[in-house]
A and B are shown apart, each in its own frame.
Chain A
């Protein structure tokens, strides 16, 4: 069937004004940003800020916050600013410290003190120990003490000597010598102070020998009695010494402690601790009496060594709010489990790891207790045990310090079990939306603990009011960063770039990081150019330089097209071949390149084969688009006949995954061209998705796609017939590059807004699509009529094939 191309009025390209919505600098009403006031509020985040105010204001269980939004939105800054303001008006929370538990040293006690007094207590305790170290030895060096010690000594010595003297006298009365031998004592008969020799003894009368034989055992028995009593005398003497030491120490300790105790009379917990200190000092009074210097040869003790005798009286201040004003606002940028809940450190001592209450280190929850703790959700989630630890602590309302080893029961060595500290903190998690929704869905505890979501907007409406707010936002950033002032032209260009970042002529991006980066770089280029204020050209230079730094890949891909490595036609006509457009997003930069889409059509059983899907290079959304266009074909052209088409579609020279349905209009056009055998103008590229009724729907990245095809055409020289077909619903998103707009104004390049596939086919082929008349027929010579006829022909052919075996058998 030969189709003619009548002269008909097809869709007109969009006027240049529709391709770019500029910002009227004159309407801004200022010369430079120096005239503007700072922006106090966070722009366009009224909903999020209200949620933040609510979430931080409500003091109920589980009303912690999750601040959602993409990175670079200024969430942290907004949260910090709000919290600083709120916290300053709140009272400072209590101080906390850990002290020794004298009865159970492995369970250190937590003491709560009014703000600022923990540090004072620590200093006081240090002073107390110093005083005791002076007062106790002094008490034990007093003349009175010495006299009493000597009394006790003398008493023992007297008893001892008296007993032996009596024994000696008793022995001497019987002319027996009481002798000290190398290992003990002995008794021997004597004369004139000398022991008798064996010969002398033998010469003694028998009766005398018998007397001696009787006396010596009696004396030995008396000696035994004395020796048995000595340990008892020693014990009594020792007890008296202990009692004396205790009395002397108590006097010294009481004297020092009484004054000290008066300072803490208002704190019963501290008073109780001081009583325990007093008891302990009395029990360990020898530590205070000991010489400062260790005996030579002993290894030097580490300063932090837990065995140092006076460490037990130290105060480990976990939270000291003395110099802080208001409630604490803390951001923990490394939220490991131990950085959150605290840890117990150990020191190596002679090869063993030892610890005590002085080695307890606070976590972020301790420091933020009574105030606000800001955490990055992602960082908390990737740290082992951190998320579980945080949840458990929030549930329990108290901070219990445990090591991960203890948590998992992996470590069985003796460690500390510090008394848990009551927790009253507002946790603000900051993170991406995806994490919020995943946590909501997968962690049942999350909604209980984080009841308030503050969702940051990515963009705001673009209107005169917001343009001015944007200008004030620019002002605020320039002042914070110490940048040059921006003139109104520069501000207008930044606003326009804000719309481009939003990918929408009617919206402005609130991505603060992107804007701030642009301002800094524009300031740099302004300085390089020797400008006093930043101008529109400086901003443009910054934008161009940003793009230039990251567009190596785009340049290489466009070169490949120019050199014919990647086959893309930008002129002429081809049947069943159309230029589609795909976006490549590199994260910090997105660009588009044309892709050749081709189709084949022939007799079959009604399937449209998506080659990308067959080889598993097509994503589900792409496959969906394919099925939709298949359904469109069936419903429009072959609703009452068997759909006897076998078609295939492919992205030529595409070796990666293809996802999205934005090429479905292009694919449909290629297929229709294949069916109608009508050539398609290769000077045009198509983007848009299609529904089952042939209507063209919105796609993303429209600006990049138009610019992508423009760049390829421009490299080969613009012919005036080139252009891009886009969904008309995307027109409001157009914020095209200036060179594209200029080419369009000069009639060198065109952008067409289409509503349906018929408009697309008419533009691509130059042939009217045709609508069904009252009889339901397409006009003769129209594209649709041609396609329908082709499909009917395929159905007939198929029917003929289906009937042939029956005819053959009847023959």
Chain B
């Protein structure tokens, strides 16, 4: 593995995402790429004749203009760059930082091929309100949920999930997707799937993990979101190639699962 991409500039869980990305990169001996997307939607909002924002802390409203928005984004970029530098230097890995302007999810997907692993903070997409910091009083860390459909990619995702769970002392929940083979398709595929499951079990045994298992019925975004909520997942780990992760799907998924997403290629 060569490169871990982390989306910077996210709000509530940005720090966690960055730390987790650095930790993974360090373990995988990869370099880290920090991506900051200047959300084009925000710039457009600021350019609109009636563009204004409701301030979170004071409940006041103020007029937005492009210059103000540019300033705010520049400040965010600088903060993100410093945070990335500090985190990367702490674990002594190579790092690079990139700033792009556009639709957040689209830009992430554009950059995705350059990386083997994507760590996406919860707020990506700028469409989701803050959770109000309620998680700070949670007495324990929520589990790592890993999507496992028996594919090669799923096996890599499982390895990543094991790493995160062990590093952060979290429980592991394996979300078992029912593959097409079990619905009566080709026998070879079914055999391969069983072999892969066997390998997965072996990996878990070697890692000393005894995960809980949860069944995923219906391979679509809605059922995935439902499964994440049911598992009260703290992190979702998925192989990138498993589901159709188009711009719209990814945005919907991130907006709804309420936790960071790690995509493994």
Binding site for B on A (CB under 8 A): 140-141, 145-146, 149-150, 153, 156-157, 160-161, 164, 167-168, 177-186, 188-190, 193-198, 201, 212-213, 216, 220, 223-224, 227-228, 230, 233-234, 237, 241
Contact = CB atoms under 8 A, between A and B. Distances in A.
Contacts of A190: 41
Most buried by B among A181, A197, A216: A181
A168 B55 CA distance: 17
A150 B141 CA distance: 11
Most buried by B among A180, A212, A228: A180
Contacts of B131: 157, 160-161
Nearest to B126: A180
B183 interface: no
Interface string B214-252: 000000000000000000100000000000000010010
A178 B125 CA distance: 11
B52 interface: yes
Nearest to A146: B139
B129 A198 contact: no
15 contacts: A157-B258, A160-B134, A180-B126, A182-B72, A182-B75, A183-B53, A183-B56, A185-B129, A188-B48, A193-B103, A198-B47, A201-B48, A212-B50, A220-B61, A227-B59
By secondary structure, the A interface counts as: helix
B45 interface: yes
A119 to B, nearest CB: 39
A181 B53 contact: yes
A188 B51 contact: yes
B42 A181 contact: yes
B73 A182 contact: yes
B128 interface: yes
A100 to B, nearest CB: 30
A220 B61 CA distance: 9
Contact of B251 (A157, A193, A197): A193
Contact of A223 (B54, B76, B232): B54
Given A157-B258, A186-B45, 9 more contacts: A168-B129, A179-B39, A180-B126, A180-B127, A180-B128, A184-B56, A188-B48, A193-B248, A194-B40
Contacts of A223: 54
A86 to B, nearest CB: 64
B158 to A, nearest CB: 26
Contacts of A167: 129
Contact of B48 (A156, A168, A198, A233): A198
Contact of B42 (A179, A201, A216, A220): A179
B64 A181 contact: yes
B126 A196 contact: no
Given A150-B232, A161-B131, A224-B54, A179 B139 contact: no
Contacts of B56: 183-185, 227
Contacts of B103: 193-194
B206 interface: no
Most buried by A among B64, B73, B132, B258: B132
Interface in B98-135: 103, 123, 126-132, 134-135
B44 interface: yes
Interface of B: 11, 39-42, 44-45, 47-57, 59, 61, 64, 69, 72-73, 75-76, 103, 123, 126-132, 134-135, 137-140, 232, 248, 251, 258
Nearest to A149: B139
A194 B139 contact: no
Contacts of A194: 40-41, 103
Contacts, number: 125
A179 B140 contact: no
A198 B128 contact: no
Most buried by B among A167, A186, A228: A186
A212 B53 CA distance: 15
B132 A230 contact: yes
For the complex of A and B, the 6 pairs showing the least CB-CB separation, nearest first, are A164-B129, A195-B41, A182-B72, A188-B45, A195-B44, A184-B55
A528 to B, nearest CB: 83
A198 B64 contact: no
A140 B40 CA distance: 46
A145 B138 CA distance: 11
A179 B41 contact: yes
B139 A195 contact: no
Nearest to B229: A154
Contact of A213 (B50, B54, B69): B50
A237 B135 CA distance: 12
Contacts of A183: 53, 55-56, 72
Contact of A146 (B76, B127, B130, B140): B140
Nearest to B105: A193
Contacts of B134: 153, 156-157, 160, 234, 237
A201 B51 CA distance: 12
B132 A234 contact: yes
A268 B57 CA distance: 54
A140 B138 CA distance: 12
A198 B47 CA distance: 6
Contacts of A201: 48-49
Contacts of A156: 132, 134
Contacts of B140: 146
Nearest to B138: A153
A157 B229 CA distance: 12
Most buried by B among A168, A188, A194, A201: A188
A184 B41 contact: no
A188 B248 CA distance: 19
Given A150-B232, A179-B41, A198-B47, A184 B137 contact: no
A149 B128 contact: no
Contacts of B72: 181-183
A179 B45 contact: yes
Nearest to A153: B134
B44 A153 contact: no
A153 B127 CA distance: 22
Contacts of B129: 160-161, 164, 167-168, 178, 180, 185
B44 A198 contact: yes
A186 B51 contact: yes
Contacts of A241: 137
B74 to A, nearest CB: 10
Most buried by A among B49, B64, B127, B129: B129
Nearest to B129: A164
Contacts of B50: 212-213, 216
Nearest to B9: A182
A180 B45 CA distance: 11
Contacts of A140: 139
B138 to A, nearest CB: 6
A642 B248 CA distance: 148
Given A157-B134, A181-B64, A186 B44 contact: no
A212 B50 CA distance: 10
A184 B123 contact: no
Nearest to A200: B44
Contacts of B49: 198, 201
Contacts of B132: 156-157, 160, 230, 233-234
Contacts of A181: 42, 45, 53, 64, 69, 72
A195 B64 CA distance: 15
A223 B56 CA distance: 10
Contacts of B251: 193
A563 to B, nearest CB: 99
B80 to A, nearest CB: 12
A250 B147 CA distance: 42
A194 B232 CA distance: 31
A474 to B, nearest CB: 82
A325 to B, nearest CB: 54
A167 B127 CA distance: 11
A197 B44 contact: yes
Contact of A197 (B47, B61, B69, B126): B47
A148 to B, nearest CB: 10
Contacts of A145: 139
A186 B54 CA distance: 6
